């Protein structure tokens, strides 16, 4: 049974960087955007943690920013298992597009809705937070009895929904957490409960 889980948010991606420049919001979701130079450095910085740890399995989403973070963080020394259930929340038709352009393309859609806070809201052909939670639940239910120690390289929303599931938190509480690029979270199963800390 799992006793240790390490969750790592991917390093800064190109679209993460653009969204910090105040030139207009781009919806990212599952758009496959590569790591920036800063993102690579954040991933390499994780080696100081993984050099002193060993795991039964290393998982990643199927998006390159998570895969590359995993490779850099582990110095490419271990096999990385890719699993679509670990992918970031899908934003459907909005992915990779500027908010200003989407307002013109979909004038009847209310873009003032709080996508990252309301559990039921979703982009056109996208997922809401509850959909991601179901993917998370499916993934962990399958592997909880398969390993003792697992590392997973994923994305902000997926990690938040994992914490909601494992810590038995309401989605409304977990979704408000701040998880920076390159953040490592370590969870331990102690006395019948999962506990976590930031590394």
| Residue pLDDT, tens place only, 21-57 | 988 899 999 999 999 999 999 999 999 999 999 999 9
pTM of the model as a whole = 0.96
Label residue 79 exposed, middle or buried (CB < 10 Å: 0-12, 13-18, 19+): exposed
Q: How many distinct structural domains can be found in the chain?
A: 1
Percent of the chain with pLDDT over 90: 91
pLDDT greater than 90 at residue 114 = no
Q: Does the annotation list 65 as a binding residue? A: yes
Judge whether 155 counts as a catalytic residue: no
| Residue pLDDT, tens place only, 76-111 | 999 999 999 999 999 999 999 999 999 999 999 999
pLDDT greater than 90 at residue 157 = yes
Q: Does the annotation list 15 as a binding residue? A: yes
Question: Domain range for residue 134?
Answer: 4-198
CATH label of the domain that carries residue 23: 3.40.50.1240
What angle, rounded to 10 degrees, do the helices at 156-166 and 129-143 form?
60
Q: Does the annotation list 14 as a binding residue? A: yes
Beta carbons within 10 angstroms of residue 93's beta carbon: 17
Calculate the alpha carbon distances from 66 to 114, 115, 138, 153 in Å.
25, 22, 20, 6
Cβ(199)–Cβ(186) below 8 Å? yes
Q: Which position among 88, 95, 127, 155 bears the catalytic label?
A: 88
| Residue pLDDT, tens place only, 51-66 | 999 999 999 999 999 9
Nearest to 50, CA basis, from 153, 139, 147: 153
pLDDT greater than 90 at residue 116 = no
Q: Does the annotation list 126 as a binding residue? A: no
Residue 12's pLDDT is what?
A: 98
199 band by pLDDT with thresholds 50, 70 and 90: confident
Residue 118's pLDDT is what?
A: 85
Q: Which position among 10, 95, 127, 155 bears the catalytic label?
A: 10
Judge whether 88 counts as a catalytic residue: yes
115 band by pLDDT with thresholds 50, 70 and 90: confident
């Amino acid at each position: 049974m799992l006793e240790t889980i390490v969750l790592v948010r991917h390093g800064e991606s190109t679209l993460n960087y653009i969204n910090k420049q105040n030139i207009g919001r781009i919806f990212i979701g599952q758009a496959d955007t590569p790591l920036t130079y800063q993102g690579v450095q954040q991933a390499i910085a994780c080696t100081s943690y993984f050099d002193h740890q060993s795991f039964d399995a290393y998982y990643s989403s199927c998006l390159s920013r998570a895969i590359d973070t995993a490779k850099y963080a582990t110095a490419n020394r271990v096999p990385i298992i890719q699993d679509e259930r670990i992918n970031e929340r899908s934003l459907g038709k909005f992915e990779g597009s500027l908010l200003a352009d989407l307002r013109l393309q979909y004038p009847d859609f209310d873009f003032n809705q709080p996508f990252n806070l309301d559990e039921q809201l979703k982009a056109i052909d996208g997922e809401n937070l509850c959909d991601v939670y179901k993917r998370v639940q499916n993934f962990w239910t399958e592997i909880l009895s398969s390993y003792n120690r697992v590392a997973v390289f994923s994305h902000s929303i997926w990690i938040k929904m994992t914490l909601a599931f494992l810590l038995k938190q309401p989605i409304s509480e977990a979704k408000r957490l701040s998880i920076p690029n390159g953040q490592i979270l370590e969870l331990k199963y102690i006395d019948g409960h999962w506990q976590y800390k930031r590394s």
